[in-house]
Structure 1
Amino acid sequence: MSDPIEGIWDCVTVASFGTQESVFTIVRDGDTFSGTNIADVGELEVQDGRIEGHRLTWKMPTTKPMKMTLVGKAIVNDGKLEGVVMLGAFGKATMSGVKRG
């Protein structure tokens, strides 16, 4: 049986200033994970990824449009990901995704 969390996720993030599609890759290591989130604005590296049951939390440093650390929280259930990303001074965005495969 495959891991319900690890894998490649096709995601959409919706913020007040627009919508962005991305490919979120999760590489699990017990109750932690690493990976990347790749979108039109570039590739963001996952840091401090944690897994508690079906709940995920992570950080992603970015320099676009300014230097800040994005903070994500999501729940994974039946091949779907639903969560929020805190965008520093830009508020928050909703994030949803579907697991490939």
Structure 2
Amino acid sequence: MSGTSVEGTWDLVIATPIGRIKAVVELRRENGLLTGTARGAGEEVPLSELTHDGARLSWKQAVTKPMRLNLAFDMTIHENTLTGHSRAGRLPASKVTGQRRDRPMTA
């Protein structure tokens, strides 16, 4: 058992050198696999290499706005809060915080 549920909708704020960027990440389980998408800056992208191990959550995503970047997120979950950072290639890491918007649905 992973112990901490991550399914749901998360409101993220990424503190970048060019300002704060808001994004929404949706995480869900499909056939036992964790999948997700991220929305922000007028685009929606799938999450890749999504892993959840205990209180640690990490994923990668590509964005084209405000510029074309491949981002890697490394987050820690504490109840309904996410904290961590994202990194784009050799650029400095950006602090990321998030709050769960809704509770996970149970069947």
Residue type of the alignment partner of 1:42: E
Name the structure 1 match of 2:8: 7
Letter in 2 for 1:76: I
The one-letter code matched in structure 1 to 2:37 is: T
Structure number with greater Rg is 2
Where does the alignment leave 5 or more consecutive residues of structure 2 unmatched? Answer: 103-107
Uncovered stretches (5+) of structure 1, i.e. residues with no partner = none
Q: How many residues end up aligned between the 2 structures?
A: 97
Q: Partners in 2 of 1:28 and 1:93 — Cα distance?
A: 27
Q: Partners of 2:64 and 2:20 in 1: how far apart?
A: 19
Once the two structures are superposed, residues 63-86 of structure 1 have per-residue CA deviations (whole angstroms, 9 ceiling, x without a partner) of: 3412x4211100111100001110
TM-score normalized with structure 1 length: 0.83
Paired AA for residue 43 in structure 2: G
- Between the two structures, name the one with larger relative contact order (CA 8 Å, sep ≥ 6): 2
Q: Structure 2 length normalisation: TM-score?
A: 0.79
How far is 1:62 from its partner?
2.5
Identity %: 26
Paired with 1:100 and 1:36, the residues of 2 have a C-alpha distance of: 15
Task: Please name the residue that 1:43 is paired with.
Answer: 44
Tell me, yes or no, if the aligned pair for 1:4 and 1:79 is still in contact at 8 Å.
Answer: no
